[in-house]
Chains A and B, each alone.
Chain A
Amino acid sequence: AQSVTQLGSHVSVSEGALVLLRCNYSSSVPPYLFWYVQYPNQGLQLLLKYTSAATLVKGINGFEAEFKKSETSFHLTKPSAHMSDAAEYFCAVSYPNNNDMRFGAGTRLTVKP
């Protein structure tokens, strides 16, 4: 079954530090991969997506992610964390001809002043 695993349920960084949130997928076919952010008491907002074009994907708010087939990974990074980045982040996967999207368990990002 298609799935994604997010390593680390909670990540804490200092303001201005690098943000790295990890996501690995399990699949025998090329997946579509997404990163979403959820602020408290809100819905999910798309940060970026990978759909087999460029392996380095740039998203909103300075985030980017790199698809690495050899490592089955799609880690999310941001060079410099802002206080406003504190939120829950979800990696998600779907497949061609299938709109059954599955989410990872989520990573809560805390940004310290």
Chain B
Amino acid sequence: DTEVTQTPKHLVMGMTNKKSLKCEQHMGHRAMYWYKQKAKKPPELMFVYSYEKLSINESVPSRFSPECPNSSLLNLHLHALQPEDSALYLCASSLGTGGFDEQYFGPGTRLTVT
């Protein structure tokens, strides 16, 4: 199984809503990542978890809250988002945490904030 799955595929939420994005991998990877991608732009790193611990937070606003309940699962909790947060949110994982290993990406969640 070389797949990273993400749910939901699409999400529309109001600025006062609370929602969560879910990411799962069963490849035994030890690092997991959240990226934000705006249209016609490259992915921007948001968070990195290494061995289930948050290792990188790219100064992301607190309305985005990551969680890694176990080595296979990564969540992104959303609260009080702004319309400019509308984007494709990509999850990825890699076998190691040292930069050598490629990242495997999920298909993304298309988020629209109204």
A4 to chain B: closest residue by CB: B42
Interface size, chain A (Cβ < 8 Å)? 25
Q: Which residues of A contact B98 (CB under 8 A)?
A: 96-99
Which positions 80-108 of chain B face chain A at CB distance < 8 Å?
90, 92, 94, 96-100, 102-108
Chain B proximity of A48: nearest CB distance (Å): 9
Which positions 2-44 of chain A face chain B at CB distance < 8 Å?
32, 34, 36, 41-44
Q: Is the CB of A98 within 8 A of B99?
A: yes
Give the residue of B56, B92, B100, B106 whose beta carbon is less than 8 angstroms from that of A32.
B100
Q: Is the CB of A46 within 8 A of B100?
A: no
Give the residue of A34, A42, A101 whose beta carbon is less than 8 angstroms from that of B45.
A101
Give the residue of B42, B55, B56, B100 whose beta carbon is less than 8 angstroms from that of A105.
B42
Which positions 27-59 of chain B face chain A at CB distance < 8 Å?
31, 33, 40-43, 45, 48, 50, 55-56
Q: Which residues of A contact B99 (CB under 8 A)?
A: 32, 94-101
Q: Is the CB of A43 within 8 A of B106?
A: yes
Known contacts A34-B102, A44-B105; is-contact A103 B42 (Cβ 8 Å): yes
Give the residue of B42, B45, B50, B107 whose beta carbon is less than 8 angstroms from that of A104.
B42
Judged by a CB distance under 8 angstroms, whether A45 is at the interface is yes
Q: Which residues of A contact B31 (CB under 8 A)?
A: 99
Q: Is the CB of A44 within 8 A of B43?
A: yes
Residues of B whose CB lies within 8 Å of any CB of A are 4, 31, 33, 40-43, 45, 48, 50, 55-56, 90, 92, 94, 96-100, 102-108, 110
Q: Can you list 24 A-B contacts with CB-CB less than 8 angstroms, sorted by A residue number?
A: A34-B102, A36-B105, A41-B108, A42-B107, A42-B108, A43-B4, A44-B43, A44-B92, A46-B102, A46-B103, A90-B43, A94-B100, A96-B99, A96-B100, A97-B98, A99-B31, A99-B50, A99-B97, A99-B98, A101-B33, A102-B45, A103-B43, A105-B41, A106-B40
